[in-house]
Amino acid sequence: MKKIVIAGRNDSGKSTILGEIYKGLKMRDYQPLAVGSGVQDEKPYLLKGIEATYLTVAIPEPGFDVVSDIDRVIRNAVNLIKEKNSLIQHARKALEELNKVRSVLELGNLQQKDIPPVASLPDVVLIEAVGINDGYKSEETRKLGDMLLTIVPAGIKNEIIMEQGSILLDESDIIIVTKVDETPRDVATTTIKLLQRIYRYKPIIPVVATKGVHIELVIEEVVKRLADPIRLLDLDQEESSAK
Ligand SMILES: Nc1nc2c(ncn2[C@@H]2O[C@H](COP(=O)(O)OP(=O)(O)OP(=O)(O)O)[C@@H](O)[C@H]2O)c(=O)[nH]1
Ligand SMILES: [Mg+2]
């Protein structure tokens, strides 16, 4: 299952983007699992239309390895869905049996409609990385997933973009520039031009995350990467050489 990490400074728009990507992938017949970085993420995610079944949080404890913990969190979430599904199937069976008895007694059938349908299992994971204050240097965040989306608010200081060792920018697959609506035009333009100059071959997408402006472009880039067999090959090699 591919893991997409959404990283960026505090308040840059990560949760908003995550919600939009969730909806976009869902519309394309993916079933994402959303992983927030704390309980504070739960309510906003639900408000953004992420279903409770596909919502979980990973709470990194001090000194705990977030990277290996994320797999445990994902496994737990998937197991929970499987358990629920199995209960639902049991309930359906039980009702069938009951209805057999009822029909012998000429009582008429009870309806199945109160039992929810089984939930499909997630096939892609969206992870919001913990807010980072010190620019874009968290190596650990880079290791969380297979695809890295880095969120940069349009009003960010140029120095931060130009800092050495900003691994989350250097290695990002897609750079998303948020808040272009509330940033003075010249400032936003400078940010985007600077990013384009440094990262010539990366998609750099300016968006208004809160209004869904250009989100479709982001989804397209994500889907392209999810579906790209060459990339899958690369990742497999990386994984096996890491072992
Ligand atoms: N005007 C405008 N506001 C935005 C945009 N993207 C996000 N916001 C707002 O910025 C604030 C922070 O957005 P979040 O999505 O919570 O950002 P975050 O990076 O998840 O924040 P933390 O998880 O707290 O680090 C919210 O009030 C959003 O509504 C944007 O493109 N334009
Ligand atoms: Mg957030």
Query: What is the model's pLDDT at position 243?
Result: 43
Ligand 1 and 12: CB distance under 6 A: yes
Query: What is the model's pLDDT at position 40?
Result: 87
Q: Which of 18, 57, 210, 214 to mutate to test the pocket of ligand 1 (most atoms within 8 A of CB)?
A: 210
Evaluate whether residue 62 is within a structural domain: yes
Domain that residue 47 falls in: 2-89+117-242
Ligand 1 and 15: CB distance under 6 A: yes
Evaluate whether residue 34 is within a structural domain: yes
193: buried, middle or exposed (CB in 10 Å: 19+, 13-18, 0-12)?
exposed
Ligand 1 centroid–CA 73 distance in Å is 25
Evaluate whether residue 234 is within a structural domain: yes
Q: Return the CATH number at 15.
A: 3.40.50.300
Query: What is the model's pLDDT at position 78?
Result: 98
Structure tokens given for 186: 């010249």
Evaluate whether residue 99 is within a structural domain: no
- 3-state percent breakdown (helix, strand, coil) of the chain, nearest 5: 50, 15, 35
Residue 82 and residue 120: Cα distance in Å, rounded? 9
Question: Residue 107: CB partners within 8 Å, gap ≥ 6?
Answer: none
Query: What is the model's pLDDT at position 19?
Result: 97
Query: What is the model's pLDDT at position 68?
Result: 77
Q: Which residue ranges in the chain fall short of pLDDT 70?
A: 61-65, 131-134, 230-243
Ligand 1 and 182: CB distance under 6 A: yes
Query: What is the model's pLDDT at position 138?
Result: 87
Nearest CA to ligand 1 atom 28: 13
Q: Do 13 and 183 contact (CB within 8 A), yes or no?
A: no
Task: Say which amino acid occupies 144.
Answer: L
Structure tokens given for 2: 């591919």
Beta bridge partners of 178: 153
Q: Which of 6, 9, 15 to mutate to test the pocket of ligand 1 (most atoms within 8 A of CB)?
A: 15
H helix and E strand count, the chain = 9, 7
Evaluate whether residue 84 is within a structural domain: yes
Looking at the structure of the chain, the number of domains it has is 1
